[in-house]
Amino acid sequence: MNLLRAFLLSGIFLLLYSCDPARIYDDNKSIGNDKWYYKNTLPFDVQIIDTNTWYDVSVNLRISSDYAYNNIFLWLYTTNPDKKTDKRRIEIRLADEKGKWLGKGLGDIYDYQFPAIQKVKFPVSGFYRFELEQNMRDDTLKFVKSAGIRVAETAE
């Protein structure tokens, strides 16, 4: 049953993924054994060509319903082609006060897409490195399945 569900989810994801002309980058990395050790940063290299366009950067997250908290804190590091680095701490609310998951779910898996940087122009063209690091009290955060970065042109 899990294999069928994974196949269906993959098909739906691919269909939705291919219908997004504003997206210039969208990638997720699996977390080994669903255990995210805080020193294991996830790198994403994004090529920015147009410096005149406004962009939105989002964090993608997939968790299991066994995840112990109603939120997650992450560090988002951005390094531009000139090697200048920006560091920002973000919080993603995953559940409401009553414990109801806020993400899009099927079965016991929930997906989130959180706007981390909105309406930004990148000053120089080239490759930008985005890195995600979990910043919770637990050194190893359990039941996080994957995390990723999405960069898209800002909707007008």
**pLDDT tens column, 80-94:** 999 999 999 999 999
- Of the ranges 27-36, 97-106, 140-149, which one carries the lowest mean pLDDT score? 97-106
Residue 155: predicted pLDDT = 86
Assign 9 a pLDDT band (cuts: 50, 70, 90). Answer: low
Determine the Cα–Cα distance for residues 104 and 111; give it in Å rounded to an integer: 5
Q: How much of the chain exceeds pLDDT 90, in percent?
A: 82
Per DSSP bridges, beta strands 55-64 and 109-120 are: antiparallel
Residue 11: predicted pLDDT = 56
Average of per-residue pLDDT values in the chain: 91
Say which CATH topology domain 24-153 has: Jelly Rolls (2.60.120)
**What tens digit of pLDDT does each residue of 97-139 get?**
999 999 999 889 999 999 999 999 999 999 999 999 999 999 9
Determine the Cα–Cα distance for residues 79 and 122; give it in Å rounded to an integer: 11
Determine the Cα–Cα distance for residues 153 and 62; give it in Å rounded to an integer: 23
Q: Over 70: is that where the pLDDT of 2 sits?
A: no
Contact criterion met (CB below 8 Å) for 59 and 116: yes
pTM here? 0.85
CA nearest to 57, candidates 1, 131, 124? 131
Burial of 3 (0-12, 13-18, 19+ CB in 10 A): exposed
Q: Over 60: is that where the pLDDT of 34 sits?
A: yes
Tokens of 27: 């990638």
- C-alpha pair distances (Å), 152 with each of 112, 128, 129: 16, 14, 15
Q: Over 60: is that where the pLDDT of 10 sits?
A: no
Listed by start position, the domains of the chain span: 24-153
Assign 4 a pLDDT band (cuts: 50, 70, 90). Answer: low
Determine the Cα–Cα distance for residues 101 and 136; give it in Å rounded to an integer: 18
Rg (the chain; Cα; Å): 16
